[in-house]
Amino acid sequence: MSLFGKSRTTPVLPVIDVPEGFHVPPKTQWGFTPSLQNGVTQGGISGNILTGTALGPHVTLHHGGDGAQFSIQQTDDYGTGLVFDFGDFESDFFSLAFELPLEGVLALGRQDLLRFVLRSQANETFQAYARLNLCHGPNTEQVVRMIDIGAGESFAEFDIFYTEFEPKRATSAWIDLIINDPAHKRITLEEVIILRRARASL
């Protein structure tokens, strides 16, 4: 108890779940690192992997080929990533959907920036699409940015201020990583990190 009869309150620290040693930008209020390996055994999976397959509680893969043949392996260095080997992949796109936990969705505001960070390697660096989806009531806001694959660490940033997003009606949010023409690509996705921070005042 304080001298004035009011109990002291402990400051609520930001919940920033990111890998040890990762540089967190100033004003970051929340961070999330989705698990990539939950749905992939040590021996990996291969063959006709169905669209909609969950790789973890917050990660789902999608593609447009009914007979698409490819493989997914855990990284062989005891890391937390995955290796995607597409070979003669028959679909013209492949995507991974990274769903934000509900507590992260409900805390989103119009003054926030979302940063989508990838740590990846590839046989050749190329650009993919990162698409933020914000569901509020019956509506879904979408923001698309470009992001480099295979360049080590890269990121895309989304400014929620310039959308019609209504935080009080928020229900879900996710980020799609969309790769066009993935055939013959081999991609190591080492880590995915999602950060929320306050945008600079105008």
The two structure tokens encoding residue 179: 């790769």
Q: In the chain, what are the domain boundaries?
A: 31-198
**What SS3 state is found at 46?**
strand
Q: Is the pLDDT of residue 90 over 50?
A: yes
The two structure tokens encoding residue 14: 């930001």
How far is the C-alpha of 92 from the C-alpha of 80, rounded, in Å? 27
pLDDT for residue 21: 85
Nearest to 159 by CA among 134, 182, 140, 181: 134
Q: Is the dihedral of CA 20, 173, 29, 159 positive or negative?
A: positive
Greatest Cα pair distance in the chain? 73
Q: Which CATH number fits domain 31-198: 2.60.120.260, 3.30.70.520, 3.40.50.740, 3.40.50.720?
A: 2.60.120.260
Q: What stretch of H or E contains 175?
A: strand 170-180
Position with higher pLDDT, 187 vs 50: 187
Cβ-count burial of 56 within 10 angstroms (0-12 exposed, 13-18 middle, 19+ buried)? middle
Residue 52 backbone zone (phi > 0: left; psi -120 to 50: alpha; other: beta): left
How far is the C-alpha of 53 from the C-alpha of 100, rounded, in Å? 17
- Name the strands in the sheet holding 139-149, side by side, starting at the edge strand that comes first in the sequence: 54-56, 59-63, 93-99, 170-180, 126-136, 139-149
pLDDT in tens, 118-167: 999 999 999 999 999 999 999 999 999 999 999 999 999 999 999 999 99
% of the chain with per-residue pLDDT over 90:
70
The chain-wide mean pLDDT, for the chain, equals: 89
State how far the alpha carbon of 117 is from the alpha carbons of 113, 130, 151, 194, in Å.
13, 10, 12, 6
